[in-house]
Amino acid sequence: MTRRRRWALGITAGGLLLVVGAYVVTTDGLAAFGAAPSGDRRSRVVRSPRWHDGAFENAVPTVKTLPGRTWEMLRRHATGDEPREPPGPMPVMHPSRASFEARPNSGLRVTWLGHSTVLLELDGARVLFDATWGDRASPSTIVGPKRFFPPPLSLADLPAIDAVVISHDHYDHLDMGTIRELARRQGALRFVVPLGIGAHLERWGVPAGRITELEWGEQTAIATGAVTLTATPSRHFSGRRLRDAVGRGNPTLWATWVVTGATHRAFFSGDTGFFEGFAAIGEAHGPFDLTMIKVGAYGEPWPQIHVNPEEAVRAHGLLRGRVMLPIHWGTFNLAFHAWDEPAERTVAAAEASGATLVMPRPGETIEPSLVTGPVERWWRSVGK
């Protein structure tokens, strides 16, 4: 090897080390990757009927990406020309802490905080779904999808919450920094999660006694028994490490959630592909005054793990939902569709099927029972 080549190799290796080093430093020493369940947590995981040969499996056969579509995905990632980010500032609303002091007259109020993060107030309980305040949906603070707008409400301004409920452990739904700060700020706060996810939370400093892990079909009471949270099936996958993404993965369970109070019921989808099981959930737990269903991050190469807008509206019908709040759009660039396409297609699908939609701006609070008239397509004014 010539001296020059040795130099070139050395510089390349040094550069790589610097990149890896920066990545690790900004991930807080790899803590963001979480932890594998051990002890009792592990025992419950391996006893689950959804656990097969070292990984969780969906109830219906499911592939993450259709065979032979990986190169197409890489090519579209690099060359797709659809506007995947908003062309101007988003019309974010900023609710004050005081606005949550008076409980909703109707008993049901919901605040969309962007992506899958939703504050639900139902029959006296406050539930915060998929709390992610982080700047990026990523284990790193310097690499990965960056949010289109800052969180509409600071964690300091958040009212007292009865439970943080997590759908699954992907970065756009479970954020280490947010969990740590919530646990520190709200001493009585409970964390209700699908099987296995408690290991991540414990690694981040949440005391085990404040974590409830549930299997599909299991439930727990919150707000001194006023409201019940039930983990229900979903069709998706899980994992926070690179090896989960390229391999079989699925080290923790994923779930949809039902919230049941004395007079109201709500459904939260997290991430899910379409499956006929929505009808069974609607039969057992519905009808729902409000469904919160994901509409963004769909794609033809991965049709089984992310519903598209038409499937989301269909799921709302099967669930016996009255009002649907579309979530999981307009906040991160995660798929090969225009940033506002999920909103347009959801509105069209709802109009075609007669479903009632609410389309809040980020940070906007809505009482579903007071909704009248057609939705305002506020996203069409972004960048105009």
Q: How far is the CB of 154 from Zn ion (least distance, A)?
A: 23
CB 267 within 8 A of CB 256: yes
Judged by beta carbon, residue 166 or residue 192, the one nearer Zn ion is 166
SS (H, E, C) 131-195: CCCCCECCCCCCCCCECCCCCCCCHHHCCCCCEEECCCCCCCCCCHHHHHHHHHHCCCCEEEEEC
Judged by beta carbon, residue 129 or residue 204, the one nearer Zn ion is 129
Q: Which residues bind Zn ion (CB under 5 A)?
A: 170, 172, 271
Judged by beta carbon, residue 278 or residue 329, the one nearer Zn ion is 329
Q: How far is the CB of 270 from Zn ion (least distance, A)?
A: 7
* Residues 6 or more apart in contact with residue 291 via CB below 8 angstroms: 266, 267, 269, 315, 316, 319, 321, 323, 324, 325
Judged by beta carbon, residue 198 or residue 296, the one nearer Zn ion is 296
Q: Which amino acid is at 137?
A: A
Residue 363 phi, psi (nearest 5): 90, -5
Residue in the structure block whose two tokens are 């939902």: 321
CB 254 within 8 A of CB 237: yes
Judged by beta carbon, residue 100 or residue 237, the one nearer Zn ion is 237
Q: How far is the CB of 170 from Zn ion (least distance, A)?
A: 4
Rounded Cα distance between 363 and 350, Å, is 22
Judged by beta carbon, residue 58 or residue 186, the one nearer Zn ion is 58
**Using N-to-C axis directions, what is the helix angle for 309-318 and 277-285, rounded to 10°?**
40
Q: How far is the CB of 294 from Zn ion (least distance, A)?
A: 7
Q: How far is the CB of 18 from Zn ion (least distance, A)?
A: 31
Q: Which amino acid is at 332?
A: F
Q: How far is the CB of 272 from Zn ion (least distance, A)?
A: 9
Residue in the structure block whose two tokens are 């009255």: 322
